[in-house]
Amino acid sequence: GAVVSQHPSWVICKSGTSVKIECRSLDFQATTMFWYRQFPKQSLMLMATSNEGSKATYEQGVEKDKFLINHASLTLSTLTVTSAHPEDSSFYICSVPGSGDNEQFFGPGTRLTVL
């Protein structure tokens, strides 16, 4: 299956700063990627669908101006958490759909801690 990487794997930042998280599909071209957020002991909540060459589709309640998504190529999507605050501390995971109907490849996740 496809290999998906995320960078960084963890990041600690000060409140008010912006943090960029990268999601790369290493061996598979992806016109679509998904971004999820997972708070401790909770489930994965879909934030947005990243579309290559066009605007991302955000889920209800997700602030598009705070969580900027850019999908500039078929192998890279970035999520930028702007003006991060402690409540943005979470585990962010991306996924890439494969060609088979049962294929959905997840990145290893990025743990963000905002002080």
Partner 1 sequence: AQKITQTQPGMFVQEKEAVTLDCTYDTSDQSYGLFWYKQPSSGEMIFLIYQGSYDEQNATEGRYSLNFQKARKSANLVISASQLGDSAMYFCAMREGLDSSYKLIFGSGTRLLVRP
> Rule CB under 8 A: which residues touch partner 1?
31-32, 34, 36, 38, 42-46, 49, 91, 93, 95, 97-104, 106, 108-109, 111
- Decide: 63 and 81 in contact? Cβ < 8 Å: no
Nearest distance from C-beta of residue 72 to partner 1, angstroms: 18
Of residues 82 and 106, the one with the C-beta less far from partner 1: 106
Distances (CA, A) of 82 to 63, 88, 94, 114: 10, 10, 18, 12
Q: Minimum Å distance from CB 56 to partner 1? A: 12
Q: Judged by CB, which is closer to partner 1: 13, or 44?
A: 44
DSSP conformational letter for 66: T
The answer to whether the beta carbons of residues 60 and 91 sit under 8 Å apart is no
- Give whichever of 82 and 104 is closer to partner 1, judged by the CB atom: 104
Q: How many CB atoms lie within 10 A of CB 46?
A: 14
Residue 70 or residue 97: which is nearer to partner 1 going by CB? Answer: 97
Helix, strand and coil percent figures for the chain, each rounded to 5:
5, 55, 45
**Closest distance between partner 1 and the C-beta of residue 83, in Å?**
25
